[in-house]
Structure 1
Amino acid sequence: MNPPKMSSAGIGKGRVEALADGIFAIAMTLLILDVKVPALLPDQIDQLPNRLLQLWPKMASFVISFLICGVYWVGHHALLHYVRRSDRTFMWLNIAFFLVISAIPFSAALIGEYPQQPTAIRVYCGNLILAGVVLFGQLRYAAGRGQLYDQDIDARFITSAGRRILMGPAVYLVASLLASVSPITSLILCGAAPVLYLLPGQVDQYWKNGHRTTIQEDSLVK
């Protein structure tokens, strides 16, 4: 069997993308496993509506965490789209990212079980902050020291993408700081964060127009 091809320019990114898809698929599937079907005796069937209602914290945690994982998957996919090669450091940065993503089912189960506990909220927010920070680190390394991006990529795209990545961690940091004051506000902020990424921004304009097209100056404030 011939060894994998490696050039002086670096190594391929295909294995990183394959591992990413597998990690995200497993993590997103594990989220629903914390939502258990109520176990009722035959004479307790009339309690089913109330027991289902009691599941709302876990269900909310599942939906929000699933969307957040989706946001990070899209962000990671977008980051790798313009990476023309990989290297050892970049691969280990991805391993660190996958480590944090793999912990989301645990932190999501924790906040689903103890939604009013500041400690649970801080663990959850800390998990999501780390995911965003590591993803941002990948972007900066690929665009800077690693020189892994296309040479003609617009530098303003990198700046814009970096700001977009850090929006989530900024919201989660505020949510974490408010956990002791108002847990419900923290939960609302966590739920609102992924909605920010559903709104189009200048990064979407870059994709739409093609990566050789520069971002308009006035779009940088959006």
Structure 2
Amino acid sequence: MTLQQIHLFEMRRLEMLSNTIFGVAMTLLAYDLPKASSFAQAPDWHDVLRVYAQPVIALTISFVVAGLFWFSHHRRLAVAPEAGRGVVFLNLFFLLSIIILPVTNGLYGSYRLDGVVAVIYGFHLLAIAALNAVLWVLALRGRHDPQLLATALFPVCVFVLGTAMAFIEPRVAQYIWCLAFLAPFAGWLAARRSA
């Protein structure tokens, strides 16, 4: 065993921690949904939409974003099963950004159309995507894999654009953020172009 191998961390341990963090964070997204006690009497369709529409839209965006980043995180750990201390700490910051997701999701679910709240939520999504992209760049060092790189970088571009739109028109930002779900398609296009 070389000295370099002694200082490497087995990422499968981080994988167990990340499964727990993602699972708890994704479950807590539903915590801020309105309770049935929000209604004084049995609600009609209009009441249900008025009370639940914004929080459910925010929950859906956040849940799918978290799910996609969970998938990306596990793929990245498979690509780079060992890493040094710096990459491990960067992964911990990435997981911290996931832990905070229920907080910004609750804020966004309550005040989705407010410009300040939409920008805060957008910056949070951008931070998650940027940390993920940096970790992918580090995992792919010395490898030529345009598909994985494009899949990691595409959400960063989308969240930059969506957050910029949140400054101007918060109502439109949510639709731009949803384009991040096309990241696998962007990776497929990058792979086709390089072939």
Instruction: Give the TM-score band, short-chain normalised.
Output: 0.7 to 0.9
Aligned length: 191
The one-letter code of the counterpart of 1:156 is H
What is the aligned counterpart of 2:45 among 44, 49, 52? 49
Task: Provide the C-alpha distance between the structure 2 equivalents of 1:93 and 1:58, rounded to a whole number of angstroms.
Answer: 31
5+ residue gaps, structure 2, are: none
Change (3 A) 1:220 1:119: farther
| Contact 1:64/1:191 (8 A) holds in 2 | yes
The one-letter code of the counterpart of 1:70 is G
RMSD between aligned residues: 2.5
| Contact 2:136/2:152 (8 A) holds in 1 | no
1:156 and 2:153 matched: no
Shift of 1:198: 5.5
| Contact 1:38/1:51 (8 A) holds in 2 | no
Change (3 A) 1:187 1:84: closer
Residues 52-105 of structure 1: CA deviation (Å, up to 9, x unaligned): 212101001111110000110111111111113122111101111001111111
Report what 2:166 is aligned to. 179
The one-letter code of the counterpart of 1:197 is A
Residues 8-53 of structure 1: CA deviation (Å, up to 9, x unaligned): 4123222110011111101100111111223134xx22x3433321
Residues 154-209 of structure 1: CA deviation (Å, up to 9, x unaligned): x221x432222121121111111112322221111123322x13548439xxxxxx
- Other structure's SS at 1:180 match: helix
5+ residue gaps, structure 1, are: 148-154, 204-214
Taking only the aligned residue pairs, the percentage that are identical comes to 21
The one-letter code of the counterpart of 1:187 is Q
Task: Provide the C-alpha distance between the structure 2 equivalents of 1:180 and 1:11, rounded to a whole number of angstroms.
Answer: 41
Query: Which structure dedicates a bigger proportion of its chain to helix?
Result: 2
The one-letter code of the counterpart of 1:202 is W
Change (3 A) 1:117 1:184: same
Task: Provide the C-alpha distance between the structure 1 equivalents of 2:18 and 2:175, rounded to a whole number of angstroms.
Answer: 28
The one-letter code of the counterpart of 1:73 is W
- Other structure's SS at 1:116 match: coil
Task: Provide the C-alpha distance between the structure 2 equivalents of 1:180 and 1:142, rounded to a whole number of angstroms.
Answer: 33
Residues 128-155 of structure 1: CA deviation (Å, up to 9, x unaligned): 11111111221222333xx8xxxxxxx2
Which protein shows a greater Rg?
Answer: 1
Task: Provide the C-alpha distance between the structure 1 equivalents of 2:154 and 2:20, rounded to a whole number of angstroms.
Answer: 25
TM-score (norm 1): 0.77
Correspondence list, 1:105-184, <5 A: 105-144=102-141, 155-157=143-145, 159-184=146-171
Report what 1:60 is aligned to. 57
Change (3 A) 1:172 1:95: same
